[in-house]
A and B are shown apart, each in its own frame.
Chain A
Amino acid sequence: MKSRIEKLKDTNLLAKLPFYLFILFIAWFIFALLIWPNVNVLIDIFWVDGQISLSAFNRLASSNRAIRAILNSFLLAFTLTITVNIVGTFIVLVTEYFEVKGAKFLRIGFMSTLVFSGMVLNNGYLYVYGQNGVMTNLFLNVFPDMNTGWFTGYPAVLFVMTFACTTNHMLFFRNGVKGLDNNTIEAAKNLGSSQWQVLKDVVFPTLFPIILTLVIMSFQLGLGAMAAPIMVGGRFETISPLILSFTQRPSSRDLAALLSIILGIAQIILLIVMTRNEKKGNYMSISKTKTRVTKQKIENKTANIIVHVLSYMLFFVYTIPLILVVLFSFMNLQGISTTTLSLEYFTLENYASILSNNNNYGPLLTSAIYSGGAAVLAVVFMIMIARIVMKYKNNKLAEWTEYLFYIPWLLPGLMLALGLIISYGAPSPLLFNNSVIGSVWILPLVYLIMMLPSTLRYIKGAYYSFDNNLEDASRILGSSPLRTFVRIIIPALLPTALALVALNFNNFLADYDLSAFLYHPAYPTIGITIRQNADAANNVNAAAVNLVYSVIIMAVSSIMFYVVYGRGSKMGEKKSGIKKSKRRIKAPVIVTGLGDTGVDDPATGENA
């Protein structure tokens, strides 16, 4: 007589039990953490006292503060689109297209926003241009009567965000310019075009889809701006900080929900426009013998001088805050308070006190654990999901599962955060009678959720690049599906997986937007701490701590970028199993693809 277990084994049920349990877990995850919180945001707005209500709309319409914030957000979005694209296009052209002396040097400065970003960047600008800022004090020497609080409000937000958001240009527009076919430029010149005409008729039209996407991305960043308005906005309030403010008052939570819906709708519309734009294809060269762009010498002498002067002025705008942050992090309190750079004030005390004091390194550790843990889990989880999605590609359920994991792309992170607060503010059976309020898990969980779409997209991309014959070869040589997955597939995915862990970690290390909603008071994140320390009322000690935090975060980011994009990335490439023709996919771009809005913009810290 066969035992019951043997009978189960015979029917293959027992062998497939872990798979079915995992499917059950996926179903719970999608419903409880991706769908239900967002549905609850809608319920919170439209369902009052057991009936459908539009009262939230009326309250919002009658709230001057809310209307002003919406208008401010749109104003910022529109103007940011213009300024970012002008500056972004200029810095790419002078480093990649025109012959400008010291272009390599300039490029380093313009790319500094890759690591000098988010809260660190905002804090840096505040330290340099704020009330007691280094540059403000310098200006005071020249204009003694000037208002020391000059760097605040809409112009300050626009200024900070303009230089922060050009990272996308340095990634995508730069790649576009580098991908131009030099023959088309030469052909235009040969036909009598001037330099300006070549730009107007050949270069810009070729790069039009990228430009349009960058315009949309800038608009999105402006609309959802949070860190910059909070840090330097003063009375200039935008939607995201207002959502945070309304969320903290239970009586205004429906308004917060409605504002997040407005943000969500705007985001979906922009995503649709962007996707349509992507589907139109690209106009890059169709040449089979493409030649690399050779740098164009600016023929007009005056124009050449103006371009050089502007380039170096911008270089200083980009790098001065960063350099000063690094330098002042090595000054003692006197140097910091008097904004005086001197060898006399040089000290390593700031670093020593942070690295030796639990209160000081605590937030750094919290952020590292939260973002690191979430990054690893997101990648492991999405490797499994992508495996199922790829294996059952023709299955509608698998297709919809994939779509549902893209929800965090469609809606702002703030809406998810708010949804979780609304849904699980009290113990809920969906969370096995747990509540998110007061939980240390909620923030890393939201990080993880926000990391999922881009991670899934890139892991799926890696699967596509993976030579399926490898799996077949392993199976036909006698390997079981599990062994094949562990021995053949995982090692092939490893370079992409590690790169994604590094990038996800980087993107959320200095997060402020989500932390502001969900952080545990006992375990503040680095973003929250920098924000609190940046308050003008705080002491010099706090400023010193912020400077050191900034340098440490920049150092960590630089190491991560080196690992992912620098020499470190080459280690796994050779052994990745990625088809030769597809090797270029090995490391994901930072803001994940032109359609991706799920990851914080590395430069601004804003969640696009």
Chain B
Amino acid sequence: MIEIKELQVKYDDFVAINDVNFTIKEGEFFTLLGPSGCGKTTTLRSIAGFIRPSMGSINVDGKNIVNTPIEKRGLGMIFQSYALFPTMSVYDNIAYGLKIEKKSKDQIKQRVSELAELVELNEEQLEKNVSDLSGGQQQRVAIARALAKEPNIVLFDEPLSNLDAKLRKQLRLELKRIQRETGMTAIYVTHDQDEALEISDHIAVFNNGKIEQIGTPREIYDQSASEFVCKFIGEANYLGTELVQYINENGNIAFNPKGKHYIREEKIKLFVRDDRHVVPVQAKIISEVFYGTFSSYLCEAHGTTLRVMVKEDGTSTIRDKEDVTLYIEPKDILEYEGE
């Protein structure tokens, strides 16, 4: 178990992270998510030992490792740039940590083979120089190298951000598979919300050096604890005062008119087939964008511009400038304190 308590990193007067607290259970996939400069990488690098915290503790299985040298922490890490040693072959890169541990040649060979199989690298690729591999293959080498010493905890510093979108999606699933197969605890840094939602057991959303919310992907998405989390995760429509007032008058929940209100774009319906507590809202379609599997409509309703996402089954007859009825269920509206 990893316990981060009151972690703070300060550079002169600049506070990079402050009062960071979270707990990660063994075998969990835990993601630190946030925009650039929010402190997620600083937190990860503090756990790795590359940054010395100004305050707080990092407990691994009950032992505070803040003063433990980097090489003695026994963690694995996968870097954004992969950080493969360019002077070594793929085999030597994977074997590097094992050689430091003074394992026998046979042991090293066997472990490298196991890892190569795990990350799907073949014998021929093992003999190559790392610069001769593609980005995806290099990432596999980086994973194998990090896992070589069988660390219980592996740190991932935006490991997929250098890959193209398709490969990124593919490797996400592989990472999750490897994590499950090995049973390791993964701490994963990313700014990609889709990635975080897809692979995490728990997510900590960072903003301005602090954690805004910790929760499961569903909790983070459906019950965003702050306006920042709501806007950062997924797409949300801001509801103007006039529209909120209309919903208050016609719905079953009364919202604070001074608050800020959002609704996810897929929560607004253009069609309803059951008798839920929905509020019908008259709107006009401003524009339509067709994405293949779904369409996105920009609508104008009670002074608010709303984006509505509709699954596309090929039967939609809605067109530009058409008057439509949108259905909003008040319980889907997220309310935050106003300024």
Contacts and interface: CB of A to CB of B under 8 A. Distances in A.
A477 B77 CA distance: 8
B83 A472 contact: yes
Interface string A574-599: 11110100000000000000000000
B86 A472 contact: no
Interface stretch (A3-11, A57-65, A478-486, A500-508): A478-486
B70 A476 contact: yes
B48 interface: yes
B97 to A, nearest CB: 4
B81 interface: yes
Interface in B91-124: 96-97, 100-101
Contact of A488 (B85, B131, B149): B85
Given A475-B70, A476-B48, A477-B149, A469 B83 contact: yes
A492 B86 contact: yes
A479 B83 CA distance: 15
A476 B73 contact: yes
B75 interface: yes
A520 B72 CA distance: 54
A577 B87 contact: yes
B45 to A, nearest CB: 8
A578 to B, nearest CB: 8
Nearest to A577: B86
Nearest to A480: B71
Contacts of A480: 71
Contacts of A574: 86, 129, 131
B79 interface: yes
Contacts of A473: 77, 79, 83-85, 145
A477 B97 contact: yes
The residue among A469, A476, A478, A483 with the most chain B CB atoms within 10 A of its own CB is A476
A478 B149 contact: yes
A577 B85 contact: yes
A469 B70 CA distance: 13
Q: Is the interface of B mostly helix, strand, loop or mixed?
A: loop
Nearest to A467: B81
B77 to A, nearest CB: 5
A477 B98 CA distance: 8
The residue among B49, B71, B73 with the most chain A CB atoms within 10 A of its own CB is B71
Contacts of B149: 477-478
B87 A575 contact: yes
B257 to A, nearest CB: 48
Nearest to B78: A473
A483 B70 contact: no
A194 B205 CA distance: 60
A491 interface: yes
B100 A479 contact: yes
A475 B83 contact: no
Contact of A575 (B83, B101, B131, B145): B131
Interface in A6-58: none
A575 B77 contact: no
Contacts of B73: 476
Interface residues of B, number: 28
Given A574-B129, A575-B131, A475 B71 contact: yes
A391 B79 CA distance: 20
A467 B87 CA distance: 13
Contacts of B80: 469
A472 B81 CA distance: 12
A470 interface: yes
B76 interface: yes
Given A479-B71, A483-B100, A472 B50 contact: yes
B48 A472 contact: yes
A474 interface: yes
Nearest to B77: A476
Nearest to A579: B81
A478 B72 CA distance: 6
Interface string B47-83: 0111000000000000000000011110111011111
Interface in A456-500: 467, 469-470, 472-480, 483, 488, 491-492
Contacts of A479: 71, 96, 100
A467 B83 contact: yes
B134 to A, nearest CB: 14
Contacts of B77: 472-473, 476
B50 A491 contact: no
A576 B86 CA distance: 6
Contacts of A579: 81
Contacts of A491: 87
Contacts of B96: 474, 477, 479
Given A488-B85, A491-B87, A492-B86, A476 B76 contact: yes
Interface string A225-253: 00000000000000000000000000000
A470 B129 contact: no
A475 B131 CA distance: 21
Nearest to A473: B83
B158 to A, nearest CB: 11
B163 to A, nearest CB: 15
Nearest to B79: A469
Interface string A56-84: 00000000000000000000000000000
Contact of A477 (B50, B100, B131): B100
Contacts of B101: 478
Interface of B: 48-50, 70-73, 75-77, 79-87, 96-97, 100-101, 129, 131, 145, 148-149
7 contacts: A467-B81, A467-B83, A476-B71, A477-B100, A478-B100, A575-B131, A577-B86
Given A472-B50, A473-B145, A477-B96, 8 more contacts: A470-B86, A473-B83, A473-B85, A475-B70, A478-B149, A574-B131, A576-B86, A577-B86
Interface of A: 467, 469-470, 472-480, 483, 488, 491-492, 574-577, 579
Report, nearest first, the 5 A-B pairs whose CB atoms are least far apart.
A469-B83, A477-B97, A473-B83, A491-B87, A469-B79
